[in-house]
Structure 1
Amino acid sequence: MSPSWPRARRPPLPPLRHRRPAPPSTGSVCRTTTTGTGAWHLPPATASFWWGMAYLVLLCTVFAFFAQNHAASRTSPSRVSLLMGSEPVFGALIAVWGFGERVGPGGWIGGAMIVAAAWWVTLPPRRA
């Protein structure tokens, strides 16, 4: 059981550690920049490619990350957890209806379980 610290006296959180993701991300970069023969494959040198990359990095990744954290800090933790926990369902539905992706029975069952769990936790508690 953790002690209930007053808000002003809570111990500081430890700094984030970024050691673990480094090897997989380094391997991903090396794998995507080489061909099957081991030769390096350079990205296109066209301006349209790099403008597209800048758009994807700045708007779709950086801005979305900060907007999501800004919105999450202004609502309750339970609401944030429901939204973040149901994100795979939204992604699957967009893939199915927007892009024609096929989902097998296991995928539909998993999605239904996520929706059912999200609905269940929103129910008011029963009085004993």
Structure 2
Amino acid sequence: MSARTTTLPTLGLLAMTAVWGSTFFMIKDVVTRMPVADFLAVRFAIAALAMLALFPRHVWRLGRPGIMRGLALGVIYGIGQLLQTWGLQLIAPSVSGFATGMYVVFTPILATLLLRQRMPGVVWVAVGLSTAGLALLSLNGVSVDAGVWLTLASAALYALHIVLLGQWSRPGEAFGLSAVQMVAIALVCLVATLPHGGPVTPPDRAAWLAVLYMALIAGAGAMLMQTWAQAHLPATRAAIVMTTEPVFAAAFAVAFGSDVFGWRMLAGGALVLGAMYLVELAPRRKLVGALPAEAVHHEV
């Protein structure tokens, strides 16, 4: 595979990852003006409708088994989205970005536990590094903010999603499976709004613009870009590109004034990123490399 044929997909994937990173501080702002579940329900309902409009035949071709798998994957991902966004209400966008990136470490651990795949020793080193990094980013005294725990729980669910997607996805099913997952995510978030009487719409024009951006650009559009780019890139290279998401999250948070740059962010973020790269560069004969490229994803 020549450098020329991989340059455009790599740039596309990097742009998509920057878009994911840009959503953290935007979400932080929107959820101060509307409930988390309502925001997610509206966002993913719009994304689901867009995906269904684009790929109705792909969904139909999945058949009952494929649709059931897509619904199960979407439920897992939807719960992860709720936990992540609830956590983001309580912590800085930069911390949320790095804690969410822990899915890259959790994925091989879950693959080992669920699929009985052997985990190289370097992964344990990565777990130690990421734990130290998160401690620098997140510890207040001797306790960890509840928002960090919620975000770590969401990262674990994203890792489970990656592992199961690697087992259940089939060639040619990416578009249909993505659309079904979007529908399931929207339904999970809609159910979460029922205790207070159903979803409310964004309160103002700025909130609507943010929701539309995150539904169509960071949601449906990013899914399409990811599917195209990863059809032209090795899984390892794609995963390494996507581990830049927390860096973008921190950069956007600092640039737009919702976070302050400091030595703890620099040192903690470097340790977490180091852990992610160790995992992605570890021997992959029976580990994450066994998963399809399109499985490496956590933010829609």
TM-score for the superposition, normalised by structure 2: 0.26
2:250 corresponds to 1:92? yes
Larger RCO: Structure 1 or Structure 2 (Cα < 8 Å, ≥ 6 residues apart)? 2
| In 2, Cα distance between equivalents of 1:108 and 1:79 | 24
**Structure 2: which amino acid aligns with 1:68?**
Q
What are the residue-to-residue correspondences of 1:18-37 with 2, within 5 Å?
Answer: 18=73, 19-21=75-77, 24=82, 25-26=188-189, 29-30=192-193, 34=196
**Cα–Cα, structure 1 residues 57 and 22, in superposed 2: closer, same or farther, change >3 Å?**
closer
Whole-Å separation in 1 of the counterparts to 2:221 and 2:266: 31
Which residue is 1:60 aligned to? 218
Cα deviation, residue 26, structure 1: 3.5
Residue 15 of structure 1 pairs with residue 178 of structure 2: no
Q: Is the 8 A contact 1:89 1:114 kept in 2?
A: no
Q: State the 1:21 CA deviation.
A: 4.5
| Residues 70-125 of structure 1, C-alpha deviations (whole Å, 9 max, x = no match) | 112211111111112221122112222x2122245443223112444538949xxx
Confirm or deny: 8 A CA contact 1:86 1:114 kept in the other structure.
Answer: no
Alignment RMSD: 4.3
Looking at CA atoms only, which structure, 1 or 2, has the larger radius of gyration?
1
Shift of 1:20: 3.3
Structure 1: which 5+ runs fail to align?
Answer: 1-12, 123-128
CA distance, structure 2, for counterparts of residue 45 and residue 67 of structure 1: 30
Return the letter of the residue paired with 2:69. Answer: P
- Matched with 1:107 is 265
State whether residues 85 and 114 of structure 1, in contact with CA within 8 Å, keep that contact through their aligned partners in structure 2: no
- Using the aligned pairs only, state the percent identity: 23
Match of 1:78 among 236, 260, 265: 236
Unaligned runs of 5+ in 2: 1-65, 83-187, 283-300
What is the aligned length?
Answer: 103
Local SS of the residue matching 2:76: coil
| SS of corresponding position for 1:20 | helix
What is the alpha-carbon distance in structure 2 between the residues aligned to residue 70 and residue 41 of structure 1? 33
**TM-score, with structure 1 as normaliser:** 0.52
| Equivalent pair of 1:72/1:80 in contact (CA under 8 Å) | yes
CA contact (8 A) 2:230 2:238 kept: yes
